[in-house]
């Protein structure tokens, strides 16, 4: 047994988690809670200071969890990469976005690895968790590590283990979600499994890092394609005057062969709109064109235009034009009950409406003001309106973009004459004639 495995099993192993974001922070807290000395490494000094005060900057990660491991002495946040020297395992959870040409942007991963390598030494484990194309661990991490004279599989251990977190989902935590893991060699895999078994109920070992990288992409492509399909079905159903939500509910009663997916105003979040294109890019190296991914992307990206068209039709029924009207978007976060606005379709709705002369405001109980974003800088700093009757009832149309549980639906129905709902939040609720349009 290697000494790192001894240290892991005795609880003496030290772990550095790089990237204190939505993925890295909860993982680091789990390692610390399991009794392992844990460093939370990030280049953002503001986050590091917040964590060391025992406070949180992510709504669904309770500050008490951070305060508990700070008080227990097991967790320290830092911007100093020299903590890698004191660590037995280094887990990388940094962003993997797309460039403006829709190609993988591995700059965060590469820069992290280049900052880590000078501190690496024999006996350590490196795990990449950032979502990426098959081959990244072999082609980008392994050569940089071995250039230092450390042989992977003998001196150091290298694995890829994708994160499957579903923020805001109360049914699963990153402890109960099975953890897929692939190693560069069988020994790498064995060491990697030993580490993750400390904090995960079940690990799922695979034969290679490529298989683990591909597994994560298959999961997200499966979602993107099925959401694209159901978004297309929504448009067909609407043209036929059929309620797609009723149809999905009925189809989901089939006990086999059907998994329900739900339509919406367009894809959002850091994963589903982005990750599939990592495979598209890599597949080109093999002369393969990923048509399903492209088609789903096309349909999903066209959804905000479809929704704005429905808003325009609804206003038209009341002899109102888009230009000069006032629309309230309910929900800026990309999904229910979280404060994450990355890639949110709400921004696209706001852009499209504002470009046509609409005065746009938003209400989101989870997002009090628009944080800086690269693509939607025009909205930075805009504040959520206060939820009060005079204000809410003053809009020509209320557009439901995200289904937060915190909405007061009774007041929404009582206060708003015209509602366009992309999430079916009202279900079969009794409404005034013509008050509601599903889109
Ligand atoms: N958010 C999710 O729900 C989710 C789910 C599964 C997988 N993922 C994947 O996990 C990865 C991380 O996503 P996230 O949502 O946690 O991102 P995030 O933006 O919330 O956090 C990333 C953190 O990394 C830090 N960082 C950036 N470059 C760094 C560097 N060189 N050194 C140290 N720290 C650095 C940033 O300051 C930030 O705090 C991505 O590949 C993403 O696709 C995310």
The answer, yes or no, to whether residue 176 has pLDDT greater than 90, is yes
Q: What is the pLDDT of residue 1?
A: 47
| β 89-92/125-128 pair status | parallel
How far, in Å, is the centroid of ligand 1 from the Cα of 357? 36
Comparing CA positions, the residue from 133, 100, 110 lying closest to residue 286 is 133
How far, in Å, is the centroid of ligand 1 from the Cα of 95? 4
In this prediction, residue 385 has a pLDDT band, given cuts at 50, 70 and 90, of very high
Residues near 157 by beta carbon (within 8 Å), at least 6 away in sequence: 4, 124, 125, 126, 183, 184, 185, 187, 188, 191, 192
The answer, yes or no, to whether residue 237 has pLDDT greater than 50, is yes
Q: Give the residue whose CA is nearest to atom 7 of ligand 1.
A: 163
Ligand 1 touching residue 272 (CB < 6 A)? no
Given ligand 1 and candidates 21, 45, 83, 220, which is best to mutate, with the most ligand atoms within 8 Å of its CB?
21
Catalytically annotated residues: 271
- Give the chain's domains with CATH numbers: 3-207 (3.40.50.720), 227-438 (3.40.50.720)
Q: What is the pLDDT of residue 6?
A: 95
Express each pLDDT in 39-65 by its tens digit. 999 999 999 999 999 999 998 899 999
Q: What is the DSSP string of 210-265?
A: HHHHHHHHHHHHHHHHHHHHHHHHHHHHHHTT--HHHHHHHHTTSSSS-------S
Q: What is the pLDDT of residue 34?
A: 96
d(CA 165, CA 23): 7
The answer, yes or no, to whether residue 2 has pLDDT greater than 60, is no
């Amino acid at each position: 047994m290697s000494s790192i495995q001894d240290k892991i099993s005795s609880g003496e192993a030290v772990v550095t988690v790089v990237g204190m974001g939505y993925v890295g922070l909860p993982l680091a807290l789990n390692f610390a809670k399991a009794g392992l000395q844990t460093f939370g490494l990030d280049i953002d000094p503001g986050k590091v200071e917040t964590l060391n005060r025992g406070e949180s900057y992510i709504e669904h990660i309770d500050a008490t969890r951070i305060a508990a491991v700070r008080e227990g002495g097991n967790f320290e946040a830092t911007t100093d990469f020299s903590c890698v020297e004191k660590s037995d395992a280094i887990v990388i959870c940094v962003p993997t976005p797309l460039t403006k040409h829709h190609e993988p942007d591995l700059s965060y991963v590469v820069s992290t690895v280049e900052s880590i390598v000078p501190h690496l030494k024999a006996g350590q484990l490196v795990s990449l968790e950032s979502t990426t194309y098959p081959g990244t661990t072999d082609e980008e991490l392994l050569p940089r590590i071995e250039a230092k004279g450390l042989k992977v599989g003998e001196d150091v251990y290298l694995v890829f283990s994708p994160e499957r977190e579903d923020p805001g989902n109360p049914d699963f935590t990153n402890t109960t979600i099975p953890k897929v893991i692939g190693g560069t060699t069988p020994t790498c895999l064995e060491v990697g499994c030993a580490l993750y078994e400390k904090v995960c109920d079940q690990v799922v070992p695979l034969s290679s890092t490529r298989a683990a990288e591909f597994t994560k992409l298959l999961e997200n492509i499966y979602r993107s394609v099925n959401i694209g399909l159901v978004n297309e079905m929504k448009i067909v159903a609407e043209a036929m005057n059929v309620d797609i939500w009723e149809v999905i509910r009925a189809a989901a009663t089939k006990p086999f062969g059907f998994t329900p997916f739900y339509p919406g105003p367009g894809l959002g979040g850091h994963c589903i709109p982005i990750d599939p294109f990592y495979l598209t890019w890599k597949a080109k190296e093999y002369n393969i064109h990923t048509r399903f991914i492209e088609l789903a992307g096309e349909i999903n990206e066209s959804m905000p235009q479809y929704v704005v068209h429905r808003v325009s039709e609804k206003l038209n029924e009341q002899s109102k034009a888009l230009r000069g009207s006032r629309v309230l978007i309910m929900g800026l976060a990309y999904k229910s009950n979280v404060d994450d606005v990355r890639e949110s379709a709400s921004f696209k709705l706001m852009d499209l409406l504002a470009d046509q002369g609409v005065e746009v405001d938003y209400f989101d109980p989870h997002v009090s003001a628009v944080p800086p974003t690269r693509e939607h800088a025009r909205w930075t700093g805009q504040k959520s309106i206060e939820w009060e009757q005079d204000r809410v009832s003053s809009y020509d149309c209320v557009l439901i973009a995200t289904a937060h549980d915190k909405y007061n639906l009774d007041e929404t129905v009582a206060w708003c004459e015209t509602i366009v709902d992309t999430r079916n939040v009202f279900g079969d609720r009794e409404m005034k004639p013509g008050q509601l349009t599903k889109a």
